[in-house]
Chains A and B, each alone.
Chain A
Amino acid sequence: MTLPSPGQRILMAGNNAIAQGAYEAGVYFASGYPGTPSTEVLEIISQYSDIRAQWGANEKVAFDEAMGVAMSGKRALCSMKYVGLNVAADSFMVFPFAGTVGGFVVISADDPGMYSSQNEQDNRYFARLAQVPMIEPSDPQEAKDYLKLAFELSEQFSTPVLYRTSMRVSHSKGMVTVGERTESVSDKKFVKDVPNWVVPIFAKSLRAKLDAKIARITEFVESYPYNRIEDGSGKIGIITSGASYTYAKEIFPDAPVFKLALTYPLPKQKILDFCAQHEQVYVIEELEPFMEEQIRAWGVGNIVGKDRLPRTGEFSADVLAKAFFEEEPVTDFAGEFDIIARPPQLCPGCPHRGAYLALKKAGVLVTGDIGCYTLGALPPLGAMHTSFCMGASIGNAFGFEIGGTEKVAAVIGDSTFIHGGIPPLIDVVYNGGNTTTLILDNRTTGMTGHQEHPATGLTLKGQEAPRLDLVGLVKAIGVEHVQVADPFNQKEMYASVKEALDHNGPSVIITNRPCIFARGEKTRPKTPYVINEDKCTQCGACQRIGCPGVLPGEQPRIDEVTCTGCSLCAQACKFDAIGLKGDA
């Protein structure tokens, strides 16, 4: 990658700006696990040769590695989707007891509005829960600049720092003035000191130290210059941070604004003064009343917040205008015009489709997981019946079985299996389960935009790595009935599913076709299938496999451009009406 020259002003997305910020801050190591809207942070960091960057098997592992690098005295960063912090929470909660040596920043990207997430969660509470300072940028320039502040804060107080972005900050582009890389100057080294680093034995004294530390930080933030007051006119003042700031400025361009960069711990005295100076203060924050509740608890009465603003969903200038001026947004035209939706569907030629067609035929209860394959729950496939969070499928299936459901199958993607599917599979074997597990190995982390993982044989930086042998791993766990099956061969796939379900004991099926976007697949020439309309009886069987390549309508047709030639529709046709272009 050619680096932008210092002083240049360029258009960057928030996540690119964070990556550039990491470069400028002299970050030595960056780790993470993919998850929208955070994924690009690490993908872009990996292009800077000065930073060692790698995907972790999951967020906890990524966190622990970055933690180790930071303990060794170097600047380290760990980046994840907000739910990733749930996974890494065990470490995140305990590390502050010891503190850090080199700067350590955890990037957590929230998704207000759940554009591509399974829940809505305000991760600012994690900062308070763990007693860790938190910084929130509101646009790309800040996303870059504040990262450096986060590292300075981390080193100054020997504490991890939570860097909280949201979808709109991470995925918006804006102008950013870039700077130079400054190698981290800290020469602090890890010193063996059991009472500090062996937390469980010394937790009591470390707890007291942590409290004293956060008290010192609370004092420090009173004069933190990046918590800035923008002068304005009028009797109403505004307290805000992050993306909410940008909407507040649209709606209240002239109001005085207390714009916070460091949102935990809050500068109590400064906020009390600000509230005292204004007749009314609007606390404008997306999702939960995180700041508002703290401010109210200090006895401040003249604030307005969640009594007017929504507590769920993404903010926008429209949302604020409605809350404060009762200005209704323009509604869409769906009431007057039938705007047919474009629901997400498995791609044409997606190998997951073949697995679901077989599971559907078997009529089994399927506990699912998170990934592209979650779409198998929707009609016309409708062959997944539960899905919550990464790695839940296998334990859930075993639980259903214990609960009395006779035939259960768990479906889990390759990346998800490595992330969180191994311990529950061990459990199935250990505790005498009968569960059938399908590992859909499409050789990529599909849902988040096709990242490498240990079973793809390549690293984040594109270097070859030993390829995790899933079959060997599953056998080593003690699963005796292991099959590799081709989802594009329905006879074989269904036979494998039947056999696994009938088997007395734990069983695993690993599918073997890649995602159409997996490395090497994209460029492969494809021959499309076509429907011979003379043979076609318009029974619609081909349309019921849910492939976007088979067009809806009375007379089914195959869209030559989208068809990837997987043959599943041809196998669904009982009248032999579908064949490869040229011989149908």
Chain B
Amino acid sequence: MSQVTNILLCGVGGQGVLLASEVLALVAAEEKAEVKQTEVHGVAQRGGSVVSHLRFGDKVYSPTVRTGTGDILVAFERLEAVRYGHYVKPGGLMLINDVEVMPGQIGDYKPYPSGIIEFLGNKGFALQSIPATAKAKELGNPRVSSLIILGALSAHLDLSAKAWEAVIKRRIPAKLLDVNLKAFQAGVEIGKSMAQAAAAGA
């Protein structure tokens, strides 16, 4: 069967996971024969766990990714990387944003779990941490995190810079375009340097 790329994006409602997966799907649609993307939505309240499945290649049937077959998982929030980690193939790549969002709790209080990165590392996944929040602050707009994350992801995909730029221009309102393009570029740099570090065996 032809090669299909399987990607998952996850996070907490309100973090921009859905916008990011829409942008990614549109970029893939520019260059790939087929794209399927799906997420569960319909709950109106904020703060829930969100996961989006994205598959592209020559021929794609199911919109959902099978467990243990994801090529890349992009977690906008740390704990969510563990929640959906089983979708990733052995040794697969996880890009993890450096953000912790405390779950709203309705039972007995539990502190935010520690040791997430160690746990996932011990499972044999290739981990890359993305300091998107810090970078977004640096750029003067905390809302551009998702574009930074997408930039970092783009370093691992065979989708052209041209397609990324075209879609971002189409999808982001004009007055926010500049800072978002900058954010995306900053993400690309982060992604590249991490890929190099990984290649050098660091």
Contact = CB atoms under 8 A, between A and B. Distances in A.
Nearest to B4: A250
A341 B37 contact: no
B161 interface: no
Interface stretch (B79-87, B173-181, B194-202): B79-87
Nearest to A446: B44
Contacts of B85: 332-333
A337 B48 contact: no
Interface in A342-359: 342-348, 350
B129 interface: no
A247 interface: yes
Interface in B1-49: 1, 12, 25-26, 29, 33-49
B29 to A, nearest CB: 4
Interface stretch (A93-101, A169-177, A432-440): A169-177
Interface stretch (B103-111, B130-138, B152-160): B103-111
A342 B64 contact: no
Given A37-B42, A253-B1, A247 B12 contact: no
Contact of A333 (B37, B47, B86): B86
Contacts of B34: 174-175
A172 B55 CA distance: 11
A58 B198 CA distance: 57
A546 interface: yes
B67 interface: yes
A340 B44 contact: no
Nearest to A111: B42
Contact of A330 (B62, B86, B107): B86
A551 B113 CA distance: 15
A318 B67 contact: yes
Contacts of B44: 372, 446-450, 517
B172 interface: no
A246 B61 contact: yes
Nearest to A547: B104
Nearest to A550: B104
A450 B46 CA distance: 13
Contact of A174 (B41, B63, B66): B63
A25 interface: no
B78 to A, nearest CB: 11
A338 B119 CA distance: 11
Contacts of B49: 341-342
B68 interface: yes
Interface string A353-382: 000000000000000000010010011100
A339 B82 contact: yes
Contacts of B62: 246-247, 249-250, 316-317
Given A333-B86, A340-B79, A345-B45, A247 B40 contact: no
B166 interface: no
A337 to B, nearest CB: 5
Interface in B91-135: 102-107, 109-113, 116, 119, 123
Contacts of B103: 340-342
A233 interface: no
A37 B39 CA distance: 11
Given A10-B29, A447-B44, A330 B68 contact: yes
Given A318-B66, A332-B83, A173 B61 contact: no
B104 A343 contact: yes
A553 interface: yes
A37 B38 CA distance: 12
Contacts of B63: 168, 172-174, 246
A366 B43 CA distance: 23
Contact of A173 (B38, B82, B110): B38
Given A168-B63, A175-B34, A246-B62, A332 B86 contact: yes
A168 B38 contact: yes
B38 A172 contact: yes
A564 B33 CA distance: 45
B36 A316 contact: no
A399 interface: no
A447 B42 CA distance: 7
A317 B66 CA distance: 6
A167 B38 CA distance: 10
Contact of B45 (A316, A332, A372, A553): A372
Nearest to A244: B62
A11 B113 contact: no
A548 interface: yes
A172 B36 contact: yes
Contacts of A253: 1
Interface string A531-560: 000000000000000101001110000000
A115 B82 contact: no
A562 B47 CA distance: 10
Contacts of A175: 29, 33-35
A375 B45 contact: yes
Contacts of A174: 34-37, 60, 63
Interface in B59-75: 60-64, 66-68
A247 B61 contact: yes
Contacts of B105: 340, 343, 552
Nearest to B123: A333
Interface string A318-343: 10010000000111110011111111
Contacts of B26: 11
Contacts of A347: 45-47
B75 to A, nearest CB: 12
B68 A329 contact: yes
B42 A116 contact: yes
A331 to B, nearest CB: 6
A338 B83 CA distance: 10
Contacts of B33: 175
A471 B25 CA distance: 47
A241 interface: no
A339 B84 CA distance: 10
Contacts of A116: 40, 42-43
B107 A379 contact: yes
B47 A342 contact: yes
A115 B42 contact: yes
Nearest to A328: B67
A438 B44 CA distance: 21
18 contacts: A10-B29, A36-B41, A39-B42, A116-B40, A116-B42, A171-B39, A171-B41, A172-B38, A173-B38, A174-B36, A174-B60, A249-B61, A250-B66, A333-B82, A333-B86, A333-B123, A340-B113, A342-B103
Given A343-B106, A348-B46, A548-B47, 11 more contacts: A173-B25, A173-B38, A175-B35, A316-B64, A317-B62, A330-B86, A333-B83, A333-B123, A337-B116, A337-B119, A449-B44
Q: Closest 3 interchain pairs by CB?
A: A36-B42, A330-B68, A116-B42
